[in-house]
A and B are shown apart, each in its own frame.
Chain A
């Protein structure tokens, strides 16, 4: 799966799942209800910035603490097409794969991208090409089993297809 789009924002380390979709902003667990709650406490202009690109960059330990599955769902429904972070907290990592939000871990991503850069990312090889600067870097390749779940829309969709 290859994703080509622009980076709309770069976020700092330790953004928690509670901050990504805070209970007080999530009035309903529908796609619309989750989309409006996305990142509201961290960045009030989050949804506006998504008009400039669909690739989001996070720091280390992205999605930490709470186990809520609706944190990656909120990002997906808000329109994020790819989330690259230096590292992910494991429940967030697992939840993102299981709901089908494309994610990629790349420890040195911050040295290779700026807001507004256009990237071409191949999830199966982990290669990240910065089209704007011409630089390249590598993300951690997911095991084939997980890549399949993530790129076929999530765990439930994968189970459905095998039914």
Chain B
């Protein structure tokens, strides 16, 4: 069996499971956010009407809001807070950071466990060797909250092997964006992916994270990376909670094996309307942008802030460009302060925002008029996500975002880094 099958077998009390079987398994962590938490809570209190079985396993993070923009939103947040208090679940209020970063940094994600959540990017937690999937309200409120369980169909697994080394100026996010295009938006419908190969093994944990992050947007159910020494040290540095590392059997079989070589890759940009519209940065170079942002489910990491600072040291962003910096957690902001990056980027003309998910769906920042365009580290670029359906969203690495902010148009970061 592979890692996912072994986790599902253990959590459902079976010796063995095989793809296609449905199991009812124990869930270790449930992660909710402010946008849908109140909908889940209404189902739980008005329809399910049972007791919260394991409140200590449930976390709600206010990450789409860092401060409510109007009365209606303020009321939703109050409803979420009251629910959290009534049932004793963990609450991370406005300014805590992005849901998935907060979940990791507070020990809700440990190797060998089952992590579920309302957010569609929940599969990102496969980075630490978990079985992690997004669920709907009926599952979260109907079975996870009252019983600590959920049903799961055991997926088939594709092995995705990546080899090669990046050229200077090219980074893990470029590879992940490119891979989204290679696999395709419906490329792995309902399947699991194991990300492996020398390229993945070399990466540090926060760079590995960018690969399981693409799961949902290529149609997958979940992804995982085999936990190794880096994973174990990373998690032990965060939590004292015990965990048992589970790895795939060496002889486990995959539904398919796909191999990729990242060696020759250029920096990549994915332009609206879809993530599949990904091309080398040169294809979009010169397209004007008024907004730049480090933020979103995969952005605003310390690695992103460092990349931007490397390019902006001694430079200013172009007149007319607004560059939003959104740390993915309070810990990231602390470290950016310590390294002097906060002042450096401020003086380069950037604007710091509170730790959150940034302009994801333009809840309280990042709306654009039809004449505007943004380049960002966000996870999606669908029309209408940031205001006008005609506004453009370009996704790229933090280096590409920073280089574009300096030039006022999509730019190749290698002009500044190589």
Contact = CB atoms under 8 A, between A and B. Distances in A.
A64 B219 contact: yes
B67 interface: no
A61 B184 CA distance: 11
Nearest to A61: B186
Given A24-B384, A155-B138, A64 B190 contact: no
B142 interface: yes
Interface in A52-76: 60-61, 64-69
A151 interface: no
Interface string B119-131: 1100000000000
A163 to B, nearest CB: 9
B186 A143 contact: no
A87 B189 contact: yes
Contacts of A8: none
Nearest to A91: B134
B382 interface: yes
Nearest to B215: A90
B384 A155 contact: no
A146 B22 CA distance: 8
Contact of B190 (A90, A146, A155): A90
A138 to B, nearest CB: 16
Contact of A14 (B120, B136, B143, B186): B186
A88 B380 CA distance: 20
Question: Which of A14, A18, A90, A149 has the most chain B CB atoms inside 10 A of its CB?
Answer: A90
A69 B48 contact: no
Given A65-B216, A88-B189, A155-B143, A145 B151 contact: yes
A156 B138 contact: yes
Interface string A33-69: 0000000000000000000000000001100111111
A106 interface: no
Interface string B30-60: 0000001001000100011000000000000
B137 interface: yes
Contact of B48 (A16, A24, A156): A156
Given A18-B382, A90-B221, A143-B22, A154 B119 contact: no
B89 interface: no
A147 B190 CA distance: 18
A98 interface: yes
Nearest to A92: B136
Contacts of A89: 186, 189-190, 219
Nearest to B222: A90
Given A16-B382, A88-B189, A94 B135 contact: yes
B306 interface: no
Contacts of A60: 186, 189
A29 interface: yes
B364 interface: no
Contacts of B189: 60-61, 87-90
Given A67-B118, A67-B120, A98 B21 contact: no
A130 interface: no
B138 A99 contact: yes
B186 A69 contact: no
Interface string A9-29: 000011010100011100001
Nearest to A24: B384
Interface string B66-97: 00000000000000000000000000000000
A154 to B, nearest CB: 6
Given A14-B186, A145-B151, A67 B217 contact: no
A143 B138 contact: no
Contact of A143 (B21, B36, B185): B21
A159 interface: yes
Contacts of A154: 138
A69 B361 CA distance: 17
Contacts of B151: 145-146, 149
Nearest to B119: A67
B304 to A, nearest CB: 23
A45 to B, nearest CB: 20
Interface in A110-155: 143, 145-146, 149, 154-155
B120 A66 contact: yes
9 contacts: A22-B384, A65-B216, A67-B36, A69-B137, A87-B186, A88-B189, A91-B134, A143-B21, A155-B142
Given A93-B190, A143-B21, 9 more contacts: A14-B185, A24-B384, A64-B219, A65-B380, A66-B120, A67-B118, A90-B133, A95-B138, A155-B139
Interface of B: 20-22, 36, 39, 43, 47-48, 118-120, 133-139, 142-143, 151, 153, 155, 185-186, 189-190, 216-217, 219-221, 361, 380, 382, 384
- CB-based closest 5 A-B pairs: A61-B186, A69-B136, A98-B138, A67-B120, A95-B136
